[in-house]
Amino acid sequence: MRFELLKVLLVDDNQHMRILLMEILRAVGVRHVFEATDGVEALAVMRQTAIDVVITDLSMGPLDGLHFVQLLRRAPESPNPYTPVIMITGHSTERRVNEARDVGVNEFLAKPVTARSVIDRLTQLIENPRPFVRSGNYFGPDRRRRDSPRHPGPWRRGEENRSTYVDAPSETKFTPRA
């Protein structure tokens, strides 16, 4: 996997965490790393630079990671609602993971992170991008990790209901932005 063309935005109010993540990214060849200390600053950076991937902390102020992703996905003035997002937190309860999933986070990492876990999530985003879904009050990557026949109910999305996918082609390719 070649990462040198990626533009990655790190969003965390903890400078030490940003430095750690930057070192991990640089070690695998990412040359373009941008920083923000909260969601407000992150949106400003994204309006100036075409970001390929966001890695954000959950807990920070004044705009935390959940609200930042919610604005990124749904606000009319969003710089790019399709930007892949990895959320990192030291508060990885099931409730928090579900909240992150439900606002449109692509991948989730619990602290303390390892270089391998960050690289694995980044690789997952690039090699296996999930199609985006728009339904009711949700817009973001398809929340299902697998097509499970265990859910036979009337709300199961199958091939007959691909219209809910925003990027309906069966193969979504990840291309770093210029």
| Residues 74, 82: Cα–Cα separation, whole Å | 10
- The answer to whether 11 touches 65, Cβ cutoff 8 Å, is yes
Q: What digits encode the pLDDT tens for the residues 86-138?
A: 999 987 788 888 888 888 889 999 999 999 999 999 998 888 887 767 877 77
Q: What digits encode the pLDDT tens for the residues 4-16?
A: 999 999 999 999 9
**What CATH code is carried by the domain that includes residue 77?**
3.40.50.2300
Q: What is the DSSP string of 81-108?
A: TT--EEEEES---HHHHHHHHHHT-SEE
State the pTM of this model: 0.80
Structural domain range at position 129: 7-144+160-164
Domain count, the chain: 1
65-74 and 39-48 are packed helices; what angle lies between their axes, rounded to 10 degrees? 40
Beta bridge partners of 86: 55, 107
Which two tokens mark 54? 């966001």
Q: Is residue 70 part of a domain?
A: yes
Which two tokens mark 157? 């999305």
Strands 53-57 and 7-11, sheet pairing = parallel
